[in-house]
Structure 1
Amino acid sequence: MIGTKSDSLVAKKHTIRTARDDNAAQRREHSKRHHQKLWLPDQPGAWAMALFPAIGGIVVGGVSWRNVWLTAAWTLCYCFQFSAARWLGVRAHEAKDVRKRHSTIYFVPAAVYLIITAIVGIPVFVFAPKLLWWIPAYAVLAVLSFWAAWKRSERTLWGNAVAVIAAGGMALLSASLGSRFFVPAAPHERFTSRLSPVLAPNSAAATDPNSPAAVAVYQSNPLPGPHSAGLAQYYFSSPLLPKAGVIAALAFILTEYASVLFVKTMIREHGHVGYYALSIGYHVLLVALGFTSPTLLRAASGLALPRSTFASTLLWGVPTVILLLRATIFPLTHKRMKPVHIGMIEAATSVMNLVVIALVLI
């Protein structure tokens, strides 16, 4: 009898100890996940939307150390924006006692990311100074993004549009620094590097772009500019606005905003007739654009796609139909899908968009 009671007591103590250990493990795991969420965005779909345009720009423009470096800096910038937006949201809306505690928690990652982003990002502008032309545009987008965070309007249509434009524009910046489009800063170097295949291999102009012979060739044959060509042709052929980069940026912006509307009809606005109609209408316009863009671009002077009109039409038109079917069918489910499943659908279509945009432009 005594032995039975003793065994029962030991079993109870073991059960209590096991429960305590399990609770402690759960608390440690929860603390670890919470710490990770402070430093890293926890939405795979958001990562894809932020980084795929920059990666697409690398593919379209050609891999170079400049656009890889730019993409790394952009990744850090995205992490900074994520942390800073949460800090601003807490500062603006939490109660005073909660604000003081949470403000410090969110401020540290934002400050660290800001410093690291500056360290990594500033050299990009040193080695590619023409990127400085984009600072005003991205400064405006940053102000709007942080204003949306302060007002807790990041999930609104205009707040999402700001994020999509900023991410999509990276396709253009990344492509402009690629091996296909980036050229040296000195004008006579640009000229001789483009003409080097047709110059005499052993000539001074071909071997040394800084030589008097190279400078003389450049001065006697200046590069095309607004004085000798249409403005559209001149600027779209410049390193800042490579044709393929512009088209890639527009394609990413349009398809990513379609994803924004689709996700809204699946989660926050599931069952909302107005948002569903808006999403379907946008996707129908996207389909029309997908099938007509190659013809329109070929008709525009100097903006023809590398592939044939028929091939480009199929490559862009068919995927937009897939996006339309996605936006039409999935939101009609009576039961909301789990976010992880929606994320899987988004990941698949994001990869499809990246591959298709690259195939059309290279």
Structure 2
Amino acid sequence: MSQSRPSGPSQRRVERISQQPEAAEPAPLEDAAPSDPPAPRSAPSHQSRPGPADDIMLSTGKPQPSPKPTQEQIRQQPGRKAWVPNQHGAWSMLVLPPVVGWVVGGFSWVNLIFLPAWWGAYLTYWAWSQWLRTRSPRKRALLLLPLIIYTGWTALLGLLVLLAAPYLIQWVVPLAPLFAVAAHQVWRGHERSLISGLATTSAASLMAAVTYSLAVSGAGGFLGTANVASLPGSSPNGALTGWQWMWLVTGLTAAYFGGTVPYIKSMIRERFNYPLLTGTVVAHSAVAAGVVWAATGGYLPWSHAALWVVLALRSLIMPLWQWHLARTRHRPLRPGTMGVVEIVMCVAFLVTVATR
């Protein structure tokens, strides 16, 4: 099989003619018509960078639900906060003291009117406090309706209570200064101060003595200072009876609710406040020591003394644990969790006072 050498490159030149017409020569610069300057391009609109919500939507196909409003945002809604107080701890002090008076003295039918009047009084105080601290006319207009309704409700029921039990007018003497202190703190914008909390809890604790007064139909003289025999209620050793025992129980009720004011502050608003924590622990320890001493003499049940020892330990351990969670995990205990603990303590307080 023969093999030929490849031929060399062809010497022929192939000329390709373009089918497109030649472009016209540009006109001289001096002959060109002046044109308008080009319009500036509009700047692109601002667009935020994608964040975690966009990542969730891209991965799941569903937009991230809007977060629930915080307590501070709820407090900034005047129409809502005037109807429903956001002081969740107040509900226990509105219920427990009257029940303590029933347990010691018994139930009176006037309580069916007095309790709604007492709850209406607190709601009236709350509505007025919100109205006083609000300076905007628009927000005050939103607060006007609940203020009028709660005030009228309290005035009507209060009048019925006084008609049924006129001897209750004497309780204005200890309650008026406490309400004046609380109102003054609201006027100054310090409704969450320690003084305001102690004044309101003291007034609420007096409801134990008021319901006891209803149970005994006003017997016992002015504010229960007279020694009247055969009144219900007595200490375990029988040395304290009637109003003597009731005033001791009322004082313990005030000590419990008064102690919750700095305790809750150290858990939420006053975290890492060591002077406040020290004062809280000292106050609880002093009451616990007094209750243990009274229990040794038979004036108080030992179960109640044990409860106060637990309360004293709680006033130290719970805030320190809360501070540890806030430092390390940045997720402290929620107010709802603390509320459940306080409900348990309230039930234990009632049960231990009622036992002999």
Shorter-chain TM-score range: 0.5 to 0.7
Q: Is 1:339 aligned with 2:340?
A: no
Could you tell which deviates more after superposition, 282-291 or 102-111? 102-111
Q: Is 1:70 aligned with 2:107?
A: no
- Structure 2 spans left out of the alignment, 5+ residues: 1-56, 233-241, 327-331
- How many residues get paired? 271
The aligned counterpart of 1:59 is 103
Counterpart CA distance in 2 for 1:264 and 1:278 is 12
- 1:169 Cα offset (Å): 0.5
The aligned counterpart of 1:355 is 351
Encode CA deviations 1:32-65: one digit per residue, 9 max, x unaligned: x975533122333211022211121122220111
Q: Which amino acid in the other structure matches residue 51 of structure 1?
A: V
The aligned counterpart of 2:287 is 286
The aligned counterpart of 2:262 is 261
Q: Is 1:156 aligned with 2:152?
A: no
Q: Say if 2:85 and 2:126, in contact at 8 Å, map to a contact too.
A: yes
Q: Say if 1:53 and 1:169, in contact at 8 Å, map to a contact too.
A: yes
Counterpart CA distance in 1 for 2:217 and 2:254 is 23
Residues 267 and 319 from structure 1, CA distance in 2 versus in 1: closer, same or farther, beyond 3 angstroms?
same
Encode CA deviations 1:268-308: one digit per residue, 9 max, x unaligned: 11111101101110111011121123567xxxxxxxxxxxx
Q: Which has the higher helix share?
A: 1
Residues 233 and 250 from structure 1, CA distance in 2 versus in 1: closer, same or farther, beyond 3 angstroms?
same
Which structure would you say has the larger RCO, counting Cα contacts within 8 Å and 6 or more residues apart? 1
Counterpart CA distance in 2 for 1:100 and 1:141 is 29
Counterpart CA distance in 2 for 1:332 and 1:177 is 42
CA RMSD of aligned residues (A): 3.2
Residues 232 and 86 from structure 1, CA distance in 2 versus in 1: closer, same or farther, beyond 3 angstroms?
closer
Aligned match of 1:172 in 191, 209, 223? 209
- 1:355 Cα offset (Å): 2.3
Counterpart CA distance in 1 for 2:165 and 2:231 is 14
- 1:225 Cα offset (Å): 9.0
Residues 67 and 292 from structure 1, CA distance in 2 versus in 1: closer, same or farther, beyond 3 angstroms?
farther
Q: Which amino acid in the other structure matches residue 139 of structure 1?
A: A
Q: Say if 2:295 and 2:305, in contact at 8 Å, map to a contact too.
A: no
Residues 41 and 359 from structure 1, CA distance in 2 versus in 1: closer, same or farther, beyond 3 angstroms?
farther
Encode CA deviations 1:113-144: one digit per residue, 9 max, x unaligned: 01011111111111111111112332222222
Counterpart CA distance in 1 for 2:355 and 2:78 is 40
Aligned match of 1:325 in 313, 324, 328? 313
The aligned counterpart of 2:165 is 128
Q: Say if 2:284 and 2:315, in contact at 8 Å, map to a contact too.
A: yes
Q: Say if 1:291 and 1:317, in contact at 8 Å, map to a contact too.
A: yes
Encode CA deviations 1:142-181: one digit per residue, 9 max, x unaligned: 2221111111222222111110110000100011111xx2
Give secondary structure in 2 for the equivalent of 1:269: coil
Residues 225 and 331 from structure 1, CA distance in 2 versus in 1: closer, same or farther, beyond 3 angstroms?
closer
Greater Rg over alpha carbons, structure? 2
- 1:102 Cα offset (Å): 1.1
Aligned match of 2:177 in 140, 149, 161? 140
The aligned counterpart of 1:182 is 217
- Structure 1 spans left out of the alignment, 5+ residues: 1-14, 185-223, 297-308
Q: Is 1:88 aligned with 2:132?
A: yes
Q: Say if 1:69 and 1:124, in contact at 8 Å, map to a contact too.
A: yes
Q: Say if 2:103 and 2:354, in contact at 8 Å, map to a contact too.
A: yes
Residues 263 and 133 from structure 1, CA distance in 2 versus in 1: closer, same or farther, beyond 3 angstroms?
same
Q: Which amino acid in the other structure matches residue 73 of structure 1?
A: A
Counterpart CA distance in 1 for 2:349 and 2:126 is 24
Q: Say if 2:78 and 2:143, in contact at 8 Å, map to a contact too.
A: no
Give secondary structure in 2 for the equivalent of 1:234: coil
Counterpart CA distance in 1 for 2:146 and 2:229 is 39
Percent identical among aligned pairs is 27
Q: Is 1:114 aligned with 2:151?
A: yes
The aligned counterpart of 1:9 is none
Q: Which amino acid in the other structure matches residue 89 of structure 1?
A: R
TM-score, normalised via structure 1 length:
0.67
Residues 149 and 132 from structure 1, CA distance in 2 versus in 1: closer, same or farther, beyond 3 angstroms?
same
Q: Say if 1:57 and 1:173, in contact at 8 Å, map to a contact too.
A: yes
TM-score, normalised via structure 2 length:
0.68
Q: Which amino acid in the other structure matches residue 111 of structure 1?
A: I
Q: Is 1:314 aligned with 2:302?
A: yes
Q: Say if 2:295 and 2:302, in contact at 8 Å, map to a contact too.
A: no
